[in-house]
Every structure is written in structure tokens, then in C-alpha cells.
């Protein structure tokens, strides 16, 4: 959904010196498109994955005079902008979830379709791996993670099997986990929803990287960083992310005045204007071209008012 993202941000990025933040740099595809379409804009791009920063740095080398690539998680945006001396920005883009590079590199352990070490850390310099989560978390905590982050209805059944198996031998590779999940699920559960391991893998990835907690801090921080007239576009790939984005945008676009006031004071008036009715979905053509786009949901908002204390 590259074009809808660019079109959504375009009205805010026409003036020379406009700053746009790509909070999820990845391999730099969105950043390259932003720099190409808006030749007078400055880009600040964040990623927690050091390999992504290296590869995208090569890709974006022709634009190096107006790019800042920063090793950071996107909830660190306020600190990054402070260090760069940027008080407000005109555009912010989030492309959430796991990048194609991370999915395609077997050794990262994100994909359930190929055997690999159970790592799943987006930043491999810090944090616990998926294997450590599986091998050390109490059963009740594993059930909570699978239910909350993977929306896995069979969480108890899967966790019981994991606990039995880890007592025999700790988990280290993905193929063993995938096989265990297939064996643990009833036949009816295996007939719907694609690969039966995908919800467990999603849940582990979110836990390992603290994705929802980070996003919960990052979206409000990004809205706060927008100048009046600035725009934010967020691509999410599962209902948990999309729900969180929807809630932040809806709160910003709401009139919070007590009922019955004849005149609404400025502090109660909306700070945001929603740019989508609901979430914008990918076209059939795009899904046919790139099946990974199928679950994408795009939401956007424009800053129309400063915060008033």
C-alpha cells in the first residue's frame, strides 16, 4: 500500500524543509519512495534492526544529504527528534509488524514455514529470544501470551504440550515447535485459518519484541510530534495493532467537552482529523501481486490543533 501512504502524507510534505519520519525503516522501500516523491523533504528513519539499517543505508546513499538513519525503537521518537534538534515534524509513517527481510532470512526464526533457530528478536543485540520465552516462562504466562497476542483459542492445549516437551529437551528450533502445534491441535482447528502455527509464532514475536507495549507509547508520541497540518499514516497487519491505532486516533479526533456547554473551550476541541473512514484495505490487484499485503489496514490522521494544557 505504498501509493495510498504517500498520497495520505503528500499534503503535509510540499513545503521545503518538511520533515518526515519513517518509524519502521526496514529495507528502506517506503523511505526511498518518500525521498523521491518529496525532493525537498528531510527524512528521519528509525529501526531497531542493525542489519536493516546497514542495508537501507546503502539503498538510500544517493539521498544521504537529507537523511538521518537512527538505531532506535519507534517509541524512542521524542528522544531521537530532541537529539536532532527537530521540535516538530510534518509527516510520520509506521509500517508495523515484521519486515520481509526478517521473514525471508531463515536464521532469524520469524517464519514457521522453514526450520531455524527460535530467535525472533528484531534487534539481535538485546533482549530474550523466542526459545528463552518457550523454555522459561511459567505455563500461565505462556497461555496469556498466546491468547492475548495470537488470539489463539487452543492456547491451553498448545502450552500443555510445550511444557511436557521442554521438560524432555529445551526448544531451540522452529520445526519442532511447528510439529508440536500440529500434533496438539484437534482436527477441526487445523482445517481453518492457514498454518496452525501462525498464531503462536505471532504471539511469541510480539512478546519477544514488546511490540504492543512499544506501539502503545509510540502512536501518541508520534501524534504529539506532529506540527499543525502534519499527517500520520499507520499500516497495521493484525487486529491488535489496528485496534490500538484506531483508539488513539479516535480519542484525538473527539470533542471531550462535558455535555451542555454553550461554547466548547479550545482545550476540549479535537486535535486530530481522521483521514480514513474506518481502515483502508489493499486492492485485489495488490494482494495478487504481494500476498503479504492481504491483512494490511491503513489509517491516517491530520493534526489540526495544538495541545492546550
Identify the H or E element spanning 70: strand 67-71
Q: Is 74 annotated as a binding residue?
A: yes
Quickly count: other Cβ atoms within 10 Å of residue 153's Cβ.
13
207 within 8 A of 143, measured Cβ to Cβ:
no
Quickly count: other Cβ atoms within 10 Å of residue 3's Cβ.
11
Q: Is 242 annotated as a binding residue?
A: no
The 8 Å CB, 24+ separation contacts for 237-242 are 237/96, 237/97, 237/295, 237/296, 237/297, 238/97, 238/202, 238/295, 239/151, 240/148, 240/149, 240/151, 240/206, 240/212, 241/96, 241/97, 241/211, 241/212, 241/215, 242/279, 242/297, 242/299
Q: Is 102 annotated as a binding residue?
A: yes
Q: Is 71 annotated as a binding residue?
A: no
Longest alpha-carbon distance in the chain:
70
- Residue found under cell 520533515: 19
Q: Is 28 annotated as a binding residue?
A: yes
> In whole angstroms, what is the distance from residue 281 CA to residue 277 CA?
11
Which pairing describes strands 19-22 and 42-47: parallel, antiparallel, or unpaired? parallel
Q: Is 29 annotated as a binding residue?
A: yes
Collapsing DSSP to helix, strand or coil, 53 comes out as helix
Q: Is 79 annotated as a binding residue?
A: no
The strand order across the sheet containing 272-274 reads 67-71, 42-47, 19-22, 89-95, 226-236, 297-303, 272-274
182 within 8 A of 176, measured Cβ to Cβ:
no
Annotated binding-site residue numbers for S-adenosyl-L-methionine: 28-30, 47, 74, 95, 102
Annotated binding-site residue numbers: 28-30, 47, 74, 95, 102
Amino acid at each position: 500500500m505504498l501509493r495510498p501512504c504517500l498520497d495520505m502524507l503528500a499534503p503535509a510534505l510540499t513545503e521545503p524543509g518538511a520533515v518526515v519520519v519513517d518509524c519502521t525503516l526496514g529495507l528502506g522501500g517506503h523511505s526511498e519512495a518518500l525521498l523521491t516523491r518529496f525532493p525537498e523533504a528531510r527524512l528521519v528513519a528509525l529501526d531497531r534492526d542493525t542489519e536493516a539499517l546497514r542495508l537501507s543505508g546503502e539503498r538510500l546513499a544517493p539521498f544521504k544529504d537529507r537523511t538521518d538513519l537512527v538505531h532506535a525503537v519507534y517509541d524512542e521518537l521524542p528522544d531521537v527528534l530532541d537529539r536532532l534538534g527537530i521540535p516538530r515534524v510534518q509527516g510520520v509513517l509506521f509500517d508495523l509488524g515484521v519486515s520481509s527481510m526478517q521473514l525471508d532470512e531463515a536464521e532469524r526464526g520469524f517464519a514457521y514455514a522453514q526450520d531455524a533457530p527460535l530467535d525472533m528478536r528484531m534487534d539481535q543485540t538485546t533482549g530474550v529470544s523466542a526459545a528463552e520465552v518457550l523454555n522459561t516462562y511459567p505455563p500461565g504466562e505462556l497461555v496469556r501470551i498466546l491468547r492475548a497476542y495470537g488470539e489463539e483459542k487452543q492456547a491451553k492445549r498448545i502450552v500443555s504440550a510445550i511444557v511436557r516437551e521442554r521438560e524432555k529437551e529445551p526448544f531451540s528450533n522452529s520445526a519442532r515447535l511447528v510439529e508440536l502445534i500440529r500434533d496438539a491441535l484437534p482436527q477441526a482447528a487445523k482445517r481453518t485459518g492457514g498454518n496452525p502455527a501462525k498464531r503462536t509464532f505471532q504471539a511469541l514475536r510480539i512478546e519477544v519484541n514488546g511490540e504492543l507495549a512499544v506501539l502503545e507509547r509510540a502512536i501518541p508520541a508520534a501524534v504529539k510530534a506532529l506540527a499543525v497540518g502534519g499527517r500520520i499514516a499507520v499500516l497495521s497487519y493484525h487486529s491488535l495493532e489496528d485496534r490500538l491505532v484506531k483508539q488513539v486516533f479516535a480519542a484525538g479526533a473527539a470533542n471531550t467537552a462535558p455535555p451542555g456547554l454553550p461554547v466548547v473551550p479550545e482545550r476540549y476541541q479535537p486535535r486530530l482529523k481522521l483521514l480514513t473512514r474506518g481502515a483502508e484495505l489493499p486492492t485485489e490487484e495488490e494482494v495478487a501481486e504481494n500476498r503479504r499485503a492481504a491483512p494490511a489496514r491503513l489509517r491516517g490522521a491530520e493534526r489540526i490543533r495544538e495541545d492546550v494544557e
